Structure 1
């Protein structure tokens, strides 16, 4: 007889810790821009404030599938609800399963990499 150890969901081993998705908001005109800019893309002001995104957006453009037959990921650009565009990868989708206009949410956001999942 073998024993199986079942760990409860939500432990540090099962849920990865991730930094939230950040964006920049202009103090003067209020427009949003992706992190990493020095000037506001609308008014050119240098007064940008770092904000935390709610992490929900709409797929704007599909850039191509990544990997082979066993991986289910799709690169895309996502128009976030705050008004900026984020580039990332939607995971756990088959090629052709996700379409422009699909709602997604942020799973993991690290510098240089953002992973999204289809929103239920």
Structure 2
């Protein structure tokens, strides 16, 4: 046991030596990597940056987006989806999870990538 977590007040007391922080788990994942934990995006800018950082040749990916970004007009998700559409991916579905939605995107069938038409 590396620490003691209080039942009231949320106090955490650690008796373990400080260790280097572990690498952060990805919040964008390919469909095949189902065992990684997801931490949903809570910022539109961060979600857009993650989509823009993906390899353009990727066929499928999932994006976890916090419920706090689900405004009643859908403006924030429209911004995120617009960045994916601009790169050649379209939304195909989403799963509602506890506190976030897991959006699935796939490459557009008619999108031209690297000069080739699909």
TM-score band w.r.t. shorter chain: under 0.3
TM-score (norm 1): 0.22
Q: Which has the higher strand share?
A: 1
TM-score (norm 2): 0.22
Q: Which has the higher helix share?
A: 2
